[in-house]
Amino acid sequence: MNYNIRGENIEVTEAIRDYVEKKVGKLERYFDTTPTSDVHVNLRVYNDEQRIEVTIPMTNLLLRAEESHTDLYAAIDLVVDKLERQIRKYKTKVNRKFRQKGAPKYAFAEMEKEAKKLREDDDDNIEIVKTKRFNLKPMDSEEAVLQMDLLGHNFFVFTNSETGDTNVVYRRKDGRYGLIEPNS
């Protein structure tokens, strides 16, 4: 695996780089052959919070995890645990699917080839249990955020009074707000 380690508000020292490569490298045991994919690691420090994001794009599969902690090394351990859970989950799905078809048990390398089919199969299991209908009131994004907060929701759909487009405001994990607009 090729490591791309970046730091925001932190200098990526050799010790940090070695620790990340050692911990993320343990994920290779889940593969028959060592993956040739890149590993993108973003380290950020804001006040007392250390945040790490790891993204591993592979053929038909994207492994991604994000974790925050006051200790950077603890955050690295937690994010690797999340990635291991993701890999085990997908591996279990693939093996279960092959067992149901009566085929021999396949290794995780085969899962990468079948991941796309699994996602399509999962789409068949989606069940909508509730439908809401409401009128979209024209408003600006600030008013939409206020409405969202009043309702206690994490997102709010509205018609942008300036553009006439349907927009969505949402609360981000960091407590700030985001706006989703269609391309014009």
Q: How confident is the model at residue 168 (pLDDT cuts 50, 70, 90)?
A: very high
**47 within domain boundaries:** yes
One domain for residues 120 and 153 = no
Contact (CB, 8 A) for 138 and 161: yes
Q: Domain span at residue 95?
A: 2-124
**131 within domain boundaries:** no
User: How many CB atoms are located within 10 Å of the residue 88 CB?
Assistant: 12
pLDDT exceeds 70 at position 114: no
The tens digit of pLDDT for each residue in 89-99 reads: 877 776 666 56
Residue 42 CA from chain centroid, whole number: 13
pLDDT exceeds 50 at position 106: no
Count of the separate structural domains present in the chain:
2
Predicted local distance difference test score (pLDDT) of residue 143: 86
Written as six digits, the tokens of 17 are: 């780089």
Q: How far apart, in whole angstroms, are the C-alpha atoms of residue 35 and residue 168?
A: 38
pLDDT exceeds 80 at position 10: yes
**17 within domain boundaries:** yes
pLDDT exceeds 70 at position 120: no
Predicted local distance difference test score (pLDDT) of residue 134: 75
One domain for residues 82 and 152 = no
Contact (CB, 8 A) for 27 and 41: no
The stretch 147-160 carries a mean pLDDT of: 84
Q: How far apart, in whole angstroms, are the C-alpha atoms of residue 144 and residue 138?
A: 9
Q: Average pLDDT of the chain?
A: 80
Predicted local distance difference test score (pLDDT) of residue 79: 93
- Residue 22 Cα distances to 17, 45, 69, 80, 81, angstroms: 9, 21, 19, 10, 13
